[in-house]
Chains A and B, each alone.
Chain A
């Protein structure tokens, strides 16, 4: 999603950008790191898991879509508070959000992943892959859990995660952008901020490559989500039509 930088930014510029992105990330995270730590051992019981598993497919979709829609609002707010984003034209703001919000959520989701028992925070408690069985999307759910697992192995700091999310969000190659240059500049600045952050932490130089290597998996999950949604729409058109308008706006064609 990024092109190598042709222009350099001053240390001050990238520092300011890093501060803006990290501040925005902290302010707009649904759960703080402390809350996540506190919730870590709050697991669904076998009985509760079975209850989810026996839900009708439509009901489970509705519930997951409601969570996703709620989470999207936090991504919109994350973007809005990053300096420079609101200076883009509104058409381009919308294009970047539509194309990138699920990727941002997938990156930030690894905060809510517990590697000791391969569970993810869902509706206030940690859930296993099996809990989502009634969605009828085992491959999508597995891919999401596997991504969370491999992302959590990278042990990203909050700063790295915030900057990486912003790099992905500000992708200048999204189709239909009216003015790519300011998006490219914004991405370049965040990318350089991320590089500087990694250097400062003395991170292994491969860490950035490992982060970028997750992008194909993220993209494939985004595509799989659209495929599943299209299929669900064929099976249950009325339920799909009742999904929240924000969800339909973001994932409608």
Chain B
């Protein structure tokens, strides 16, 4: 999980950069 911290976070976030 540590290896893909950012991907995990992006997948879990309901607000993504696209929405901002």
Contacts and interface: CB of A to CB of B under 8 A. Distances in A.
Given A73-B17, A74-B18, A76-B16, A94 B11 contact: yes
Contacts of A94: 4, 7-8, 11
Nearest to B14: A80
A76 B8 contact: no
A70 B8 CA distance: 16
A32 interface: no
Nearest to B10: A76
Contact of B11 (A70, A93, A250): A93
Contact of B16 (A80, A86, A93, A246): A80
Nearest to B3: A249
Given A90-B11, A93-B11, A94-B11, A77 B16 contact: yes
Contact of B10 (A27, A73, A86, A252): A73
A131 B3 CA distance: 34
19 contacts: A73-B16, A73-B17, A74-B18, A76-B7, A76-B11, A76-B16, A77-B10, A77-B16, A93-B11, A94-B7, A94-B8, A94-B11, A97-B7, A245-B6, A246-B6, A246-B10, A249-B7, A250-B7, A252-B3
B1 to A, nearest CB: 9
Interface in A196-253: 245-246, 249-250, 252
Q: How large is the interface on A (under 10, 10 to 19, 20 to 34, 35 or more residues)?
A: 10 to 19
Chain B contact residues: helix, strand, loop or mixed? helix
Contacts of A97: 7
A218 B8 CA distance: 26
B5 A245 contact: yes
Interface string A153-173: 000000000000000000000
A178 to B, nearest CB: 14
A80 B17 CA distance: 13
Contacts of A77: 10, 16-18
A152 interface: no
B11 A80 contact: yes
B4 A249 contact: yes
Contacts of B18: 27-28, 73-74, 77
A250 to B, nearest CB: 7
A94 B16 CA distance: 16
Nearest to B9: A246
Contacts of A27: 18
Q: Which 8 A-B pairs have the closest CB atoms?
A: A246-B6, A77-B18, A77-B16, A76-B10, A73-B17, A94-B7, A94-B4, A245-B6
